[in-house]
DNA sequence: AACCAGTTCAAGAAAAAAGGTTGAACCAGA
DNA sequence: TCTGGTTCAACCTTTTTTCTTGAACTGGTT
């Protein structure tokens, strides 16, 4: 059960669970291995799970009207991900959620999560904190996208998530930051960003 | 609608439909283009469709306990395919069903199929025949796998489906025939199989 | 009118992955 | 102790994916 330890660490960063609570909580999670390029959420299907990435990386994206892919979210080790609009409301998803490499995840299904939340106050708190963090993060993203230039957006991302920049394909990052892959390529050549 | 003609031909090989029946039947099918390596069925998701391959090729496989891929079925032009355990019982799939090349397929969804079958006797017959053929084919496969040597299995397949052998990757064929890719590679070098 | 931030398009280069082959060593059953 | 096969590791070839570059263009500033 060593994979569950990562999750336990993550939990303890945010709230205090007793050992028993940690175990009870973790029992609702199923370990899953997914291969590169495999989808764990697809448009049209309800996202039945929320995922904690033990190891690997994922990318959530939507397809625009002209067929362009827009990356909505990344997730790497120790991150949570799902199509929240689908998961929370149990409606058909609009996103693709795809593994960028062979990965190991822990998944909890919707019903189990409801049961946990109803069961104990601390469990409820943990999910509340997850949701608040996500909401706050999304709000920051919206603001950045509205107010910053492409170059600034890249700089901010680079500073905040240097590990991710190295891990995900550049076209995915470009579409996350709202610019073309060519332009990002050119940005990265600028002396400012050359880290040699 | 020329793609539907292939399907019509296929139908008429097995049963007699009037032109009206053919049209009514075909209206339940949606034309779909899928790109190489794209999945049309994935473990965890219910297979909501049955697929008729107009043009292209597919491979259905499962992942064994140690991560090995076992090819369960191929489908090329004019073949039907799905994860039948998932489709028929509308349960989450256990297979990957992936395009081996850019392909064109016709898909019918579960509900539409039920409606067709309830609607007319001849439609019911056609699906019955499809099912019987699949059952019989699977039975033959099981027997061959139990009673023949690797070399014989390859020989039998080569005779029965020479076109497929040329079309699918060798590792997929090896895993279909229940042998390692290395061994198949060695078998193919034997004079018996060299067709030069 | 020229400038800036950024896009589109096309061509190519570079890097990574997929697919296939080979040989050596091993193993289990007839 | 054969035979029919597997495993493992290395290696090669081909295909695909990803990134880069340059040139030409756009729309809104100055």
Q: What is the pLDDT of residues B106-123, one digit of tens each?
A: 999 999 999 999 999 999
Q: Which residue has the tokens 């198949």?
A: B184
Q: What is the mean pLDDT of residues A172-195?
A: 88
Q: Say how far apart CA B143 and CA B147 lie, in whole Å.
A: 6
Superfamily of domain B2-120: Jelly Rolls (2.60.120.10)
Shortest CA gap A49–chain B (Å) = 11
CB A106 within 8 A of CB A5: no
| Better pLDDT: A11 or A1 | A11
Q: pLDDT averaged over chain B?
A: 93
Residue B50, beta-bridge partner list? B108
Q: Is the pLDDT of residue B176 over 80?
A: yes
Q: Any idea where the domains of chain B sit in the sequence?
A: 2-120
Residue B194 has what pLDDT? 59
Please tell me the predicted confidence (pLDDT) of residue B196.
43
Q: What is the arithmetic mean of pLDDT over A138-149?
A: 94
Give phi and psi for A94, each to the nearest 5. -115, -5
Residue A59 pairs with which residues in a beta bridge? A74, A98
Res B191: pLDDT: 59
pLDDT band at residue A1 under the 50/70/90 scheme: low
Q: In B, which residues are within 8 Å of A33 by CB distance?
A: 67
| CB-CB contact of B67 with B85 (8 Å) | no
Tokens of B52: 């008729």
**Percentage of the residues of chain A whose pLDDT score is greater than 90:** 91
Does B68 have pLDDT greater than 80? yes
What integer best gives the mean pLDDT of chain A? Answer: 94
Residue of B37, B45, B67 with shortest CB distance to A42: B45
* pLDDT one-digit tens code per residue, A66-109: 889 999 999 999 999 999 999 999 999 999 999 999 999 999 99
Distance A101 CA to C15 C1' (A): 16
Whether B44 has its CB under 8 Å from any CB of chain A: the answer is yes
pLDDT at A66: 83
CA separation for the pair A79, A2 (Å, rounded): 17
Q: How confident is the model at residue A2 (pLDDT cuts 50, 70, 90)?
A: confident
- In the prediction, which pLDDT does B67 show? 85
Burial class (CB in 10 A: 0-12, 13-18, 19+), A166: exposed
Q: What is the pLDDT of residue A192?
A: 64
Nearest by CB: B45 against A33, A37, A45:
A45
Give the separation between CA B87 and CA B92, rounded to whole angstroms: 9
Tens of pLDDT, residue by residue over B17-42, are 999 999 999 999 999 999 999 999 99
A37: which chain B residues are within 8 Å (Cβ-Cβ)? 37
Cα separation values, B38 from A39, A44, B33, B35, B164, Å: 10, 16, 10, 6, 19
Strand C contact nucleotides, protein CB < 7 Å: 5-10, 17-24
pLDDT digits (tens, 9 = 90+) for A99-143: 999 999 999 999 999 999 999 999 999 999 999 999 999 999 999
Per-residue model confidence (pLDDT) at position B151: 95
Q: What is the pLDDT of residue A194?
A: 60
- Residue by residue, DSSP assigns B114-129 as HHHHHH-HHHHHHHHH
Q: What is the three-class DSSP state of A84?
A: helix
Which pLDDT band, with edges at 50, 70 and 90, does B4 fall under? confident
| % of chain B surpassing 70 pLDDT | 96
Instruction: Return chain A residues 167..186 having CB < 7 Å to nucleic acid strand C.
Output: 178-180, 182-183, 186
Assess B35–A contact: CB distance below 8 Å, yes or no: no
Residues from chain A contacting residue B39 (CB–CB below 8 Å): 38-39
A38 contacts chain B (CB < 8 A): yes
Tell whether the torsion through CA atoms of A105, A110, A112 and A118 is positive or negative.
positive
- pLDDT, mean of residues A21-32: 96
Is pLDDT of A25 > 90? yes
């Amino acid at each position: 059960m060593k994979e569950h330890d990562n999750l336990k660490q993550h939990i303890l960063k945010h709230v205090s669970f007793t050992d028993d609570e940690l175990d009870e909580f973790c029992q609702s999670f199923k370990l899953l291995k997914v291969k590169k390029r495999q989808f764990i959420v697809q448009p049209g299907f309800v996202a039945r799970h929320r995922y904690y990435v033990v190891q690997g990386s994922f990318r959530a994206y939507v397809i625009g009207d002209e067929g362009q892919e827009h990356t909505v979210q990344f997730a790497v080790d120790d991150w949570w991900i799902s199509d929240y609009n689908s998961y929370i409301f149990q409606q058909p998803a609009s996103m693709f959620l795809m593994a960028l490499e062979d990965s190991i995840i822990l998944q909890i299904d919707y019903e189990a999560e409801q049961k946990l939340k109803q069961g104990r106050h601390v469990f409820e708190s943990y999910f509340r904190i997850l949701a608040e963090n996500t909401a706050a993060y999304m709000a920051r993203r919206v603001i950045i996208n509205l107010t910053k230039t492409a170059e600034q957006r890249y700089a901010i991302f680079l500073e905040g998530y240097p590990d991710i920049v190295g891990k995900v394909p550049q076209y995915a990052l470009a579409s996350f930051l709202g610019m073309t892959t060519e332009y990002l390529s050119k940005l990265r050549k600028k002396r400012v960003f050359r880290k040699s």
